[in-house]
Homo-oligomer: A and B are copies of this chain.
Amino acid sequence: MRDLDDTDRHILRLLVDDARRPYSDIADHVDLSAPAVSDRIDRLRELGVVRGFTVDVDRSLLNTGVPVLVELDVPVDRAGEVATALGELDAVEHTFETADGAVVVQATVRDGDVTGLLAEAIDLEQVRDVDVRLLRGSEWSPSLGDATLALTCAECGNHVTSEGESARLDDKLYHFCCGTCLANFEDRFERLQSGA
């Protein structure tokens, strides 16, 4: 379990800037060979740090409706599921879940019927209050800073340090803080597998 190093961050920054940049180009910047860059990007994907590559679309040039910022006040224990459900809506682009149980989403509505939109995804009964505001503009400026890995042990929930270990089970990568947690997890996993 190696943490991210400066080279990883540099590669990430270059990709944030232009994800279609050739590996050979990246290689020049970080003073490595193209295959080495490819390996590192593979590893970042494996780790889940890189979820994928997308296109940055200027939605203000597209006629998809009116952009709004919607804030919902829901019971704290429901905030998670509400946020997830709303995120699945096509019209919703960003969802934020605050620690005190508010859910803020940025969406684009065709006809101004925000509550109708919300009702498609969630039960409005559990919403105590809704605040809708028209957006004049929005910007996205991704950056990275000096990020390091912040993985959570799949067994005990503790922070995974460089002493941690990882294992691939059923094609998914899990991280653990120590060998004991890994072993315990694998045990339970196997039992579930054979049971199912």
Contacts and interface: CB of A to CB of B under 8 A. Distances in A.
A195 B41 CA distance: 50
A55 B94 contact: no
Interface in A1-31: 4, 12, 15-20
A52 B53 CA distance: 11
Contacts of A144: 57, 62, 64
7 contacts: A17-B54, A49-B57, A59-B147, A69-B98, A93-B140, A95-B141, A96-B135
Contacts of A16: 54-55, 57
A63 B15 CA distance: 19
A15 B55 contact: yes
Given A56-B50, A145-B64, A98 B133 contact: yes
Given A53-B19, A54-B19, A56-B51, A93 B142 contact: yes
Range class of the A interface residue count:
35 or more
Given A133-B99, A150-B61, A151-B61, A145 B56 contact: no
Given A98-B69, A99-B136, A140-B93, A56 B62 contact: no
A100 B95 CA distance: 21
Interface string A85-99: 001101111111111
Contact of A93 (B65, B79, B87, B141): B141
Contacts of A94: 94, 138-141
Closest 4 CB pairs of A and B: A63-B150, A62-B147, A99-B134, A19-B53
Given A50-B58, A53-B56, A60-B150, 7 more contacts: A18-B52, A54-B56, A61-B149, A87-B139, A90-B143, A96-B137, A97-B136
